[in-house]
Amino acid sequence: MQYALKEKPDVKWWEQSAASGTLEVRHAPVRPEVALLVLPDGPEMSQRGAWPWHLNVLRMRPVLRAVSCVVSLEEALLGHVHYRSRGWNQGAVVDDVLRALNDLDRLTGRTRTVLVGHGMGARAALQAAVHPQVCGVVGLAPWLPDHESVVQLAGRGVFLAQSATSATGVARAREYTLRARTAGAWADVQLLRGGDAWMLRHSAAWHRAAAAGVRRVLAADGQGAKA
């Protein structure tokens, strides 16, 4: 699927969004009704620069294509969140996500936004759901340490997809989902058989899960998120 850009003069009207360098818009109508942003995985600690050609970033391109099929391209903005450095770095990456959301807010005003994150990106998306732009989060093989906050998810949709082969990952995804529901979120988890945390095996199944998650999160937002 190709991203069909608007004819001139609107082709690059969104370039004003590059204030922080963390938001890359890949497609946008003149007046988007919804925004889908993908967030790549990364290591726990690394001060090395993050670049668009890194494998963890490239892995999110087919994810963005998959979730774009859920929405009308005449109404949806599609984009990537880029990090200033590759690692989680004690939560510094969440600041990058919030910067990207602030850029989006300046660009489009208040827009229903779904964050689609993989691994570390899923953890960052869940924490960045505190931003008023965010209506939901889709987490693919999410990195969920114990005692992660869920209060910021109240009134939002959360969909987690986890490999069924990871007993620890499954347990943590289920526990997090239950706590998110208690906090007032609509939340669900899907287990993928045969997949791996890097989304290299059975990648098409991960892409389908991402698309299903976006569809369900947007539906929950339209109804009013609930447990």
Instruction: Please report the pLDDT score of residue 193 as a whole number.
Output: 86
pTM of the model: 0.88
Closest CA to 113 of 136, 139, 142, 141: 136
Instruction: Please report the pLDDT score of residue 223 as a whole number.
Output: 53
Instruction: Please report the pLDDT score of residue 198 as a whole number.
Output: 64
Dihedral sign from CA coordinates of 111, 86, 192, 158:
negative
Instruction: Please report the pLDDT score of residue 175 as a whole number.
Output: 97
Segments making up each domain of the chain, as ranges = 13-223
Coil/strand/helix, residue 186: strand
Instruction: Please report the pLDDT score of residue 63 as a whole number.
Output: 96
CATH of domain 13-223: 3.40.50.1820
Instruction: Please report the pLDDT score of residue 121 as a whole number.
Output: 96
Alpha carbon distance 188, 177 (integer Å): 6
Instruction: Please report the pLDDT score of residue 7 as a whole number.
Output: 36
Residues of the chain with pLDDT under 70: 1-20, 43, 45-47, 49-51, 53-55, 197-198, 223-227
Whether the CB-CB separation of 152 and 130 falls below 8 Å is answered with: yes
pLDDT tens-place string over residues 146-160: 999 999 999 999 999
Dihedral sign from CA coordinates of 39, 42, 46, 51:
negative
